[in-house]
Structure 1
């Protein structure tokens, strides 16, 4: 009986391989390989970690899902003050569409299943916040869903819940990832200005930055509990946060410290600091997982000034934690947040105080500057390679 089961399984594999043009004669006696076992014990329902040394291994250019590959190639730019989204065609480097959304759109967030792009309209902390869905196949918005104070949004790595970051409320709202119905909330009373997050390699916890508290908050994402806080030494305004390829180190951009703090996520301790530039803000990994791009906004102020001569982008080598390149913005600028193109050749960043978007060559640092709406913020690049999104401007794994 066991022999018959093995032969039956082999025939299924042969049928599948025959469609790929492989020689059936050679496939008939080949053993059926056992599924690869991940060395990381993830939470139930979370896709396995393919390479524990590089959590970004599945976001290389060749790993675009078939359905995602059919989506329009576009850059979606939420404009905070003009309350709309500018849509850029990367082929022509021009704005090809612009549509209104809710008040104070902050980020465009790809859903866990990569089929919806959500605009987080937090209405400056009022009860009039909303989430506007964008269909990435057509590039058009749908009907907004009322949601309280959605400054930013993430998804648990198992895809079961969206986490709406209610910044003004100092609260994390765990919601249905499709309907946005509220499941439960986690209060973070000491985390003033809670906004950006990164997850552990196994999906069991996330670390959130507290912009106006100079600290971090660690949250149990399975049991929906606050674990504790970490005050950053010498920090003042932590912003974006990103995990190293092996997920052992969390990098925290601090706009007042002018650099990136390193933190051990498991022990929740500060381990170092890397100076980058004035107003350190957004952090994004390269497609090969070797470097991270750090946007230095050029100012310690929340609302300006434009054309800062200190605005630039730092490139940090993950292996050495050293800045290996610095790209200044010609004429001054305010690089804020964004993402990397699917092929890894362009870094797209909003110019927050200059009402522009920068398309930066990741080899030379040369850039194209594209005018958009008023005060662009967390833009996303689409499509992107990867299996699922954990949120923000499209951090995929």
Structure 2
């Protein structure tokens, strides 16, 4: 056995239901304490030595649990800082494995079947080469030695993966692979996880030869495409684009644990019940709780997903809901929703692990138009609030990408404008570079981190 076996928001939704729950819990505690008699409150019974010792033991046990190391799956590098799992992707944490790699931005142009290579120092395209049909994402390998272009040949049978040598910036020989819309890596590096979106399954392959090893079917996850992994590497969370859901997968036992629907109205059961009723509905229906308010009935389309620095919650961009769902990883329940901008899509943590950049693609359509209402929202991880918004003057369509190694720039593809955007992370100012048709999941290389979990550089 392998070592790895282990819609647009129209009505008010509380931004922080978890905070509300905390308030209720505090009130509940106060009510319970209020049950004591006045004399008991004024003259509390002195603690016995036994009870004091028990309290001390409980406190010591809690402290031990708090400081205990994270027990990761065998083969996964240890978690250095359990309060910030992005600690090893910070400024200056470049792995020796990337020594000699050219500083480049690799842009897959889905509509041109090419990859554009940008020199970030000059903002010039220095190379363009052919790859397979419909390149979607450029994916750094787990060991950081290879960049893989996922060519899913949408609607066809000739999908492939194209390796790129980051030392030379040149492509190698393509490998035939069925429907590689996206690709991730098992946290122990034992397997490439090819996201076969059209077939509702995850194909686990040899990370070098791409020979098939086994698959995990995901029948309830239509449009499975983006993912992130638990802090211990035991569980993966994948978005289900075509049925508005998130699925939780046990990588140890190779099985789907559960799938949940996501909604901006998660805290309003009466609305969820109304939306769940069969039959065709108008796009907007009256919201009886708000004078003149409306509820959007269009199902969500979850896109990218990212784990919080402390490994407890997951942020899920939704291009129909125009915002980001917040899900508790342990209970697998939605606990929040953060409105961001039109067509929320890609998610990227800042180099210090304090902020989450949200690429708002500017359209609720899969095939959007140029010069949409594109922007980037900056979410503060600690408060789960949008603290900045960076518009694109004249409009645009920011999609997928990553942050520069020094943290100064956020690079994003302009999906429907055939450009790449470079956002200055201090000011939000935008530079543009013309590339091929329909650029998608670009990667910036090299990046800080010890290993890659896939996509355009989900580094740990």
TM-score (norm 2): 0.77
Report the equivalent of 1:264: 328
The list of structure 1 runs, each at least 4 consecutive aligned residues, that deviate by more than 4 angstroms after superposition, is none
Point out the structure with the larger strand share: 1
CA distance in 1 between counterparts of 2:172 and 2:99 reads 21
Q: How does 1:201-280 map to 2 (within 5 A)?
A: 201-234=231-264, 236-280=300-344
CA distance in 2 between counterparts of 1:345 and 1:53 reads 23
Report the equivalent of 1:283: 347
Give the unaligned 5+ runs of structure 1: 1-36
Q: How does 1:147-226 map to 2 (within 5 A)?
A: 147-226=177-256
Q: How does 1:26-175 map to 2 (within 5 A)?
A: 39-175=69-205
CA distance in 1 between counterparts of 2:158 and 2:331 reads 38
CA distance in 1 between counterparts of 2:165 and 2:188 reads 22
Whether the aligned pair in 2 keeps the contact of 1:125 and 1:169 (CA below 8 Å) is no
Report the equivalent of 1:393: 456
- Superposed displacement of residue 222, structure 1: 1.9
SS of aligned partner of 2:98: helix
- Superposed displacement of residue 70, structure 1: 1.6
- Superposed displacement of residue 228, structure 1: 1.4
Report the equivalent of 1:334: 397
Report the equivalent of 2:413: 350
CA distance in 2 between counterparts of 1:271 and 1:156 reads 27
CA distance in 2 between counterparts of 1:304 and 1:63 reads 37
Which one has a bigger Cα radius of gyration? Answer: 2
CA distance in 2 between counterparts of 1:256 and 1:39 reads 39
SS of aligned partner of 1:58: helix
- Superposed displacement of residue 67, structure 1: 3.5
Whether the aligned pair in 2 keeps the contact of 1:118 and 1:133 (CA below 8 Å) is yes
CA distance in 1 between counterparts of 2:336 and 2:99 reads 39
- Superposed displacement of residue 65, structure 1: 1.4
CA distance in 2 between counterparts of 1:232 and 1:327 reads 26
Name the CA shift for 1:153/1:213 in 2 (closer, same or farther; >3 Å). Answer: same
Report the equivalent of 1:299: 363
Whether the aligned pair in 2 keeps the contact of 1:126 and 1:148 (CA below 8 Å) is no
Match of 1:316 among 340, 360, 379: 379
- Superposed displacement of residue 69, structure 1: 3.5
Whether the aligned pair in 1 keeps the contact of 2:97 and 2:143 (CA below 8 Å) is no
Deviations 1:152-204 (A, max 9, x none): 00001110111000000111001111111111101111111000001000000
SS of aligned partner of 2:154: helix
Whether the aligned pair in 1 keeps the contact of 2:306 and 2:316 (CA below 8 Å) is yes
Structure scoring higher RCO (CA < 8 A, sep ≥ 6) equals: 2
SS of aligned partner of 1:67: helix
Name the CA shift for 1:121/1:38 in 2 (closer, same or farther; >3 Å). Answer: farther
